Amino acid sequence: MAWALKLPLADEVIESGLVQDFDASLSGIGQELGAGAYSMSDVLALPIFKQEESNLPPESDNKILPFQYVLCAATSPAVKLHDETLTYLNQGQSYEIRMLDNRKMGELPEINGKMVKSIIRVVFHDRRLQYTEHQQLEGWRWNRPGDRILDLDIPMSVGVVDPRANPTQLNTVEFLWDPSKRTSVFIQVHCISTEFTMRKHGGEKGVPFRIQIDTFKENEAGEYTEHLHSASCQIKVFKPKGADRKQKTDREKMEKRAPQEKEKYQPSYETTILTECSPWPEATYVNNSPSPGFNSTHNSFPVTEGNGSPSHQPEPVAQLADVSNLLPTATPQEAQQWLHRNRFSPFCRLFTNFSGADLLKLTREDVIQICGPADGIRLFNALKGRVVRPRLTIYVCQESQQAREQHQKHENGDGTNNTFFVYHAIYLEDLTAVELTEKLAQLFSISPRQISQIFKQGPTGIHVLVSDEMIQNFQDEVCFVLDTMKAETNDGYHIILK
């Protein structure tokens, strides 16, 4: 019985001590909070926060940017917190981008009262497509001749000066604007996201794009090359009214989610603010490579008076033949130049340290694995020097005065025909009179403008004007002797195919 009476007494003492200790700890916490001694820096100094602290943005990221660009289109509500916003656009619809001057007082005084230049681009968001951007855009151009990916709606734009759209850069527009004045530019995107998907069986997701704006100021030479600011946002482009339906679908899906789930997603904002990014690198191949579907003229060949001898071809022809094949002795720098010239610029970074020998050792499977099936096969064929057979090959020889005399003597029986004729091959792809004119001008080192007409000698010596249809009916590897005749109306020449 005595033992039974001691147990409650011991428990009571222990419980009393625990209560006092707990009250003391609580009172300490209350005093610290009440005294204002709580410091976030002290908490972040704890070991458990060391890793998170390294991921925090530096104070410089909170700086006020000189410009702000606002796309007047709502963001999607189906984007998780801390992810980049996504905006849906309709194909061909005009959307406003407000160009806002966000400078502090006294910031960038050198542009006060002056114009700045902005370049707007629609580029790929996915890294895989960025590597093959040039080929993707060229394929789009081939399927949509005459169309552009990005256009300015100039009548609706405000404050835009000297707008320009380079025909070779379908996804880029540029213009000048004064930051001190109200400026709004309206853009139209004509490609849709599903045009660049790998497999097209219907119902596939479209690839995201980016709208990027780079702004530059004038340098001392008056050229807009000094970078000021760049910003971009993520978009997807749908067929007309498709963006509205997608936005409605996302909104309805979010309304059906539980409140706890909704907290994980961003709200939909009425406008899209472009966030700061790195400036877009200028591609070196844009102005150097002829685009498919466009004829490139040979204006770089020297022009001489009269007819040059075809036995002495102009020097640029030999240079063009030399750059088509990559030599094993090529240095990494020369290999990079070869990749640029042959329209493999997106892969230059992948092959930065590759010499000519390194590239030539790659197997067909290696190249396809690195570059993908389409570009891999094209690169492998280029490395192995495989040339596509032209649609039509003709052989031509210039008729000289000596050849005429020898021919007349042979016809009169006054000697044997010992004249040695040298023919030159001309390869045609378009099978047009314009292409034949350019190739003949290149052969004779003259300008195409100096060739007035091309005739073919017909029955009884008549001269028949050469047309596209006639060239299309030429037999492959047909031979012609060329004769020239002075044009009556200008300083040019007529060429007669005999």
Question: At a CB cut-off of 8 Å and minimum separation 6, what does 461 contact?
Answer: none
pLDDT of residue 414: 57
Block residue for tokens 């656009």:
89
pLDDT digits 0-9 by tens, 15-48: 555 445 545 444 444 444 344 444 444 444 444 3
CA dihedral sign of residues 313, 316, 320, 326: positive
Look up residue 99 and give its two tokens.
Answer: 């160009």
Query: Which residue, 102, 100, 84, is CA-closest to 211?
Result: 84
φ, ψ of residue 388 to 5 degrees: the values are: -75, 130
CA distance 190 to 192: 7
φ, ψ of residue 369 to 5 degrees: the values are: -65, -35
pLDDT digits 0-9 by tens, 247-287: 999 999 999 989 888 888 989 999 999 999 888 876 433 33
pLDDT of residue 65: 83
Report the interhelical angle of 373-383 vs 364-371 (nearest 10°): 140
Asked if pLDDT for residue 53 goes beyond 80, the answer is no
CA distance 120 to 211: 7
State the SS3 of 374-391.
HHHHHHHHHHCCCCCCCC
Q: Is 394 helix (H, G, I), strand (E, B) or coil?
A: strand
Asked if pLDDT for residue 14 goes beyond 50, the answer is no
Report the chain's terminal Cα–Cα distance, integer Å. 138
- Give the pTM: 0.47
pLDDT of residue 370: 83
Block residue for tokens 């200028």:
282
Block residue for tokens 């404050």:
159
Question: How many CB atoms neighbour CB 445 within 10 A?
Answer: 20
Asked if pLDDT for residue 293 goes beyond 90, the answer is no
Decide if 307 contacts 398 (C-beta within 8 A): yes
Asked if pLDDT for residue 147 goes beyond 90, the answer is no
pLDDT digits 0-9 by tens, 314-352: 333 333 333 457 888 888 888 888 888 888 887 887 887
Q: Please classify residue 251 by burial: count the beta carbons closer than 10 Å to its beta carbon, then call 0-12 exposed, 13-18 middle and 19+ buried.
A: middle
Question: At a CB cut-off of 8 Å and minimum separation 6, what does 352 contact?
Answer: 332, 336
Least confident of 145-159, 198-212, 437-451: 198-212
The residue among 116 and 308 whose pLDDT is bigger is 116
**Region 107-111 average pLDDT:** 84
pLDDT of residue 40: 44
Asked if pLDDT for residue 236 goes beyond 80, the answer is yes
Block residue for tokens 């005429």:
404
Q: What's the chain's average pLDDT? A: 75
The residue among 96 and 326 whose pLDDT is bigger is 96
**Checking phi first, is residue 87 left (phi over 0); if not, alpha (psi -120 to 50) or beta?**
beta
Look up residue 136 and give its two tokens.
Answer: 């993707």
Q: What one-character-per-residue DSSP string does 80-130 give?
A: BTTSPPEEEEETT--EEEEEEE-PPTTSSGGGTTS-EEEEEEEEESSHHHH
CA distance 446 to 459: 30
Helix (H) or strand (E) holding 225: strand 224-238
Residue ranges of E strands in 250-351: 272-273, 275-276
CA distance 231 to 102: 13
CA distance 290 to 284: 13
Block residue for tokens 């001590």:
17
Decide if 285 contacts 84 (C-beta within 8 A): no
**Region 297-301 average pLDDT:** 32
What are the angstrom distances between the C-alpha of 316 and each of 320, 447, 448?
6, 14, 16
Q: Is 333 helix (H, G, I), strand (E, B) or coil?
A: helix
**Region 149-161 average pLDDT:** 92
Question: How many CB atoms neighbour CB 441 within 10 A?
Answer: 21
pLDDT of residue 361: 86
Residue ranges of E strands in 1-92: 67-71, 86-90
